[in-house]
Amino acid sequence: MAQRPQDPIEEELDEIQDIFGVNREVAEEIRLNFDQPPKGWFAHQLSIWGFFIIMVGGFGVGWRWIWPYFERLQDTHAAEQATQIGAILVGNDFGFGMLAWLFGWIFSAGAVLALVYLVLPLNKRFSRVHDAMMSSDSQPFGAGALNAVAEHASSVTSSDEFARRWLLEYIRRVLRIASLPIAVGVVLIWAELTSGDYITEEEVVIDRFIPFTENKILPWSTAELVELGCNQTDDGASLVYKVVFPTRSVRISSADPVKGTDYLASLEAIDERLRASNAEFVRWEWLKRDPLNPKCLRSFYGEYEPGGKARIDRLLRVGQL
């Protein structure tokens, strides 16, 4: 005797029980939530565009407020250190920590979106669960969270409880991954805020964020080589005054003048000290760049008029190397 075909609804309930690991009663609730109008269209669109809106919005907040805030902290610390050390130029970098935070935020944006789903109506939350179930390849965190919740879903008493468990598990998994770049960013930002090259007329003081270590001192008298040039790129012109010591090199022309000091005058003061040392002065070389780009030279000639040309030419040994 031929078997009667199984009721499609019963087949769907069997599939839900198999996937979600819930009892029959909860499976019926889940089926109803899947089938309720607008059949997840709003939640599906939110899952696509909501992530990008949150992510880009976070980028905007970071660029507009967080980055400038940390730069102000760095400038304040650098000014205090420069005053204590007697520096005339300060070189520091900022951005690597924020770059790490950027990657952390990309993951965290998914967790924020999941929090949004927690306050949506139940059928919208299940639309998100359905998206994760149907897109396991493109949404590994969602599918992984679904499998993890399903393993212990026998005690779930309602579809609402299942949806909340899934969203919370999804948030936990995403934040676990995001915590690594965020933690790295914290360390890097702290290091950037508390580190710097403090350049005085006598030496370079290298202050690094390394516990239980002293600042490294590089007197100008120990310099071995000085590379000189004027580099022109699409971003603008920059002087090249790079001092090579036995253990490292310092491009002092990339440093910023301390408040109340003049950039070119500071370079000239250091140059006088290096003239008295045993350092060899050579022309800077980088790929096929013109080491004394005329456009670069003209920009600095004009910036330090009157007398700018003579001062720049003397500093860079134009016509001598």
Report the pLDDT averaged over residues 89-106: 94
More confident residue, 246 or 116: 246
The predicted-structure confidence for 16-70, as pLDDT tens digits, reads as follows 888 888 888 888 888 887 766 445 566 667 777 888 999 999 999 999 999 999 9
The predicted-structure confidence for 281-303, as pLDDT tens digits, reads as follows 999 999 999 999 999 999 999 99
Q: Which residue has the tokens 């770059």?
A: 99
Confidence band of 240 (pLDDT split at 50, 70, 90): very high
The letter for the amino acid at 204 is V
pLDDT over 60 at 102, yes or no: yes
Report the pLDDT averaged over residues 144-160: 87
Confidence band of 139 (pLDDT split at 50, 70, 90): low
- Of 100, 174, 182, nearest to 140 by C-alpha is 174
Q: Where are the domains of the chain?
A: 8-192, 221-316
Q: Give the span between the Cα atoms of 244 and 247, in whole angstroms.
A: 8
Percent of the chain's residues with pLDDT above 70:
88
Report the pLDDT averaged over residues 107-128: 82
**Please, are residues 225 and 282 in contact by the beta-carbon 8 Å criterion?**
yes
Q: Give the span between the Cα atoms of 256 and 172, in whole angstroms.
A: 44
**Please, are residues 241 and 275 in contact by the beta-carbon 8 Å criterion?**
no
* pLDDT at site 1: 46
Q: Tell me the pTM.
A: 0.81
Q: Give the span between the Cα atoms of 208 and 229, in whole angstroms.
A: 28
The letter for the amino acid at 39 is K
Q: Phi/psi at 22 (nearest 5 deg)?
A: -100, 170
Report the pLDDT averaged over residues 237-257: 96
Q: Which residue has the tokens 């927690």?
A: 118
* pLDDT at site 131: 65
Q: How confident is the prediction for the chain on average, in pLDDT?
A: 88
Q: What is the DSSP letter of 281?
A: E
